[in-house]
Chain A
Amino acid sequence: MKILPLSKIHRKYGAQMVEFAGWEMPLKYIAIADEHMAVRGAAGIFDVSHMGEFKIRGKGALALLQKVTTNDVSKLAIGAAQYSTVLNERGGTRDDVVVYRMGEEDYMLVCNASNVEKIGGWIRKHAKDVEIEDVTMTTVLLAIQGPKALKILQKISSIDLSQIKRFKWAWGDVAGIKVVASRSGYTGEDGIELYLYDVPQSNPAIAEKLWEAIIKAGAPEGLKPCGLGTRDTTRLEAGLCLYGNDLNEEISPLEAKIDFVVKFDKGDFIGREALLKQKENGLKKVKVGLRMIEAGIPRKDHNIFKDGVEIGVVTSGTFSPLIKVGIAMGFVTPDLKIGDRVSIEIHGNKKAAEIVKLPFYDTTRYGYSRVASV
């Protein structure tokens, strides 16, 4: 099992550790619901150093990324990042990724922990005139998320974080440590993800210093350390896909309703033909949000019914600590509309649920576009 550089710190903060994607990860520190509400109301800090990072440099870097990802990398400016997908020839999703442009012919590809080897092999297979370096094991990635995340980090940052717009990034010093600060995250909230490179496994002191400085700056504002449990509940409330659940080799980005990462007009890319065919023939299944009407918590693989007929399956489900009701995402036949009543089979009983729009929360009150100031 791979051990996080901050493993000792997590134990110090009382984390319950679990195995996830080959890594020993903090599941929770005290209680998921409390961590979750800290992210929605103040801020949380997540160690997501298990994520994979590849540095891709050289003359062929742009051409490679244009070929293996669906978004238009030619539109990506230095200092910007874009969400994207890597597809197979059938249009199924090999991974969902974030592509950063670090320099002229210099990119960083961030992928899911469970897919590092698969994606590494895939990009090397299609590479020409590029240098690919897997820096996963020496990169610490801390996500500070929540309405107070910027305020907290600003106290210990050398650069004006408010100048970094959403899905942009900049080099800066945080607690005197040089990091890439990216205005992004996986909770639906405003926040910053900090990439700290070149952390040797044997000497994580610099990463520990960064973590402790953020905790110290954040504690008076209500910042809490958060584990994978909260990572899952926050991303699900925000309607964001989890690879392995809501995305896999049999699900296309069109079906998963993340069409905005697919740019057909950018030229050829792997999976393009298959996606065009899907568009032409019509999608057979599409992702929807589901909210329980009756009590019960929907979970992955629970079947969805309409008028007694099976019409789909849940791919992610949980109890929403914010709305205090069972919520889920699933794939159903494309005729279903927002507001339709369905039922989900939970422990053998069909329980009423409703198709709802995503995210699950009121975006004027929660999430990065909230109106209320904190």
Chain B
Amino acid sequence: MMAYKTPVGLYYSKEHEWVKLEGNLAKVGITDFAQSKLGDVVYVELPEVGKAVLQATEQKSKEMEIGAAESIKAVSSIYSPISGTVKEVNEALKDQPELLNTKPYDEGWLCVIDAKDAAADLKNLIDSKSYEAHIATLE
């Protein structure tokens, strides 16, 4: 089994997005496990700044989408792990989509969301240890 990075201090969704919370601002990206499954990302579709997004549930809707990552073969939608308004997007991904693969937890972040009710949303997310256990069941 491959070892995937799951930094502590981040919150994770079971669908492989991470959240780094600073006050009400949530920086969001995809996990090392997610990027590894996607393969080499060649294009990243970013959300529009100002878009109101909902925390993803099992039943997906357009309002939960914060972009898409495309490899040569496939396209995967990315869903928001937290509700709020898109405040900033990572423009660097437009020219360097590979950052999603090489640095998923720092330079490969996707967007910053101004969280509506971070405390409530965090209850639906898991910590590093639980996420690690979760991906172990998927391999």
Contact = CB atoms under 8 A, between A and B. Distances in A.
B40 interface: yes
B43 A32 contact: no
A299 B39 contact: no
B68 interface: yes
A297 B39 contact: no
Interface in A1-55: 27-28, 31-33
B40 A299 contact: no
A31 B40 contact: yes
Contacts of B40: 31-33
A326 B43 contact: yes
A186 interface: no
Given A295-B94, A347-B68, A232 B73 contact: yes
Contact of A295 (B43, B62, B73, B75): B43
A233 B73 CA distance: 9
A319 interface: yes
A115 interface: no
Contact of A297 (B62, B70, B94): B70
Nearest to A326: B43
A232 B73 CA distance: 9
A229 B75 contact: no
Interface string A186-222: 0000000000000000000000000000000000000
A325 to B, nearest CB: 10
Interface string B74-98: 0100000000000000000010000
Contact of A319 (B45, B62, B68, B72): B72
A154 B21 CA distance: 61
B10 interface: no
Interface in B51-78: 62, 68, 70-73, 75
A180 B60 CA distance: 52
Contacts of A348: 62
A233 B94 contact: no
B118 interface: no
A330 interface: no
23 contacts: A27-B73, A28-B39, A31-B39, A31-B40, A32-B39, A32-B40, A32-B71, A32-B72, A32-B73, A33-B40, A33-B72, A229-B73, A232-B73, A295-B43, A296-B43, A296-B45, A297-B43, A299-B75, A318-B72, A319-B70, A319-B72, A321-B72, A348-B62
Given A229-B73, A321-B72, 12 more contacts: A32-B71, A33-B42, A229-B72, A233-B72, A297-B42, A297-B43, A297-B75, A299-B75, A318-B73, A319-B72, A326-B43, A348-B62
- List the 6 shortest-distance A-B pairs measured between CB atoms, nearest first: A319-B42, A32-B72, A297-B70, A319-B72, A31-B40, A297-B43
